Amino acid sequence: MAEKSTLAIRPLEQEKRAIVIGASSGIGAALSRELAGQGYIVAAAARREEKLNELKAEGNGRIHIYPHNVTQYNQIPALFQTIVHDLGGLDLIAYVAGVQPPVALDEYNFEKDTTMIQVNLLGAIAWLNQAAARFERAKSGHIVGVSSIAGDRGRVGSPVYNSSKAGLNTYLEALRNRLTRHDVTVTTIKPGFVDTVLLENAAKTFWVISPEQAAQQIHKAIQRKRQTVYVPARWGLVGLIIRHIPSFIFRRLSF
């Protein structure tokens, strides 16, 4: 259930308003704090209410919480409208929710696969479609989707996680192509290794950054209205190399 009271927006100030989906921990929580620190009024939505309460306590009155499971798609239109009403408008939405359960190299688990598609891709579509329609009418707004460098190529380690992020990349690109003519910005964020729970399932890691560092770089991308951003930027070179490795070589790699 969303917060019951309407948020206090001071009418003489042009405060920016943002929704962060997947805000209970990791990059989502860090981005909520970063945006609040930069003057945004933030609506933080996530499944774990106890974590949201901790985030709210850190927000100096600028973070307001909405417990929500992104797979409950039928609730999203009404919740979106409630949040926008509470905020008094909307300037930015960031979809950060994501899951990556452990998958063995010889495992083909449809239940795990379904969860990844539901959270990583369908949840993003359900939420961002709502924002896209509103921003198109308003001729302004900014949509941010946190994807992954894992979506750049099909790897042996987690085929459906890769697929969910590749699908998200294509969806965000299509939104960008549709909405740019309406002065709406769509930014795709492709992190490398970030120190979150998702690293628990990574066999090897390097260039690991904190969620706070990731959030700062995402905020810079928002300020600059970037289109596609690797976080940190050096992953862009890695992505370029990975995308151009011939398939007969890539399929022999173990990552």
Q: What is the pLDDT of residues 41-80, one digit of tens each?
A: 999 999 999 999 999 999 899 999 999 999 999 999 999 9
For residue 12, pLDDT beyond 60:
no
- Per the CB < 8 A criterion, the answer to whether 234 and 225 are in contact is no
Q: How far apart are the first and last CA of the chain?
A: 41
Per-residue pLDDT band at 202 (split at 50, 70, 90): low
pLDDT for 227:
97
- Per the CB < 8 A criterion, the answer to whether 58 and 65 are in contact is no
Per-residue pLDDT band at 6 (split at 50, 70, 90): very low
Q: What is the DSSP string of 166-180?
A: HHHHHHHHHHHHHHG
Please state which of the ranges 23-27, 67-71, 237-241 shows the lowest mean pLDDT: 237-241
Peptide bond into 232 cis (omega under 30): yes
Global pTM reads 0.90
- Per the CB < 8 A criterion, the answer to whether 210 and 231 are in contact is no
Domain range 17-250, CATH class: alpha beta
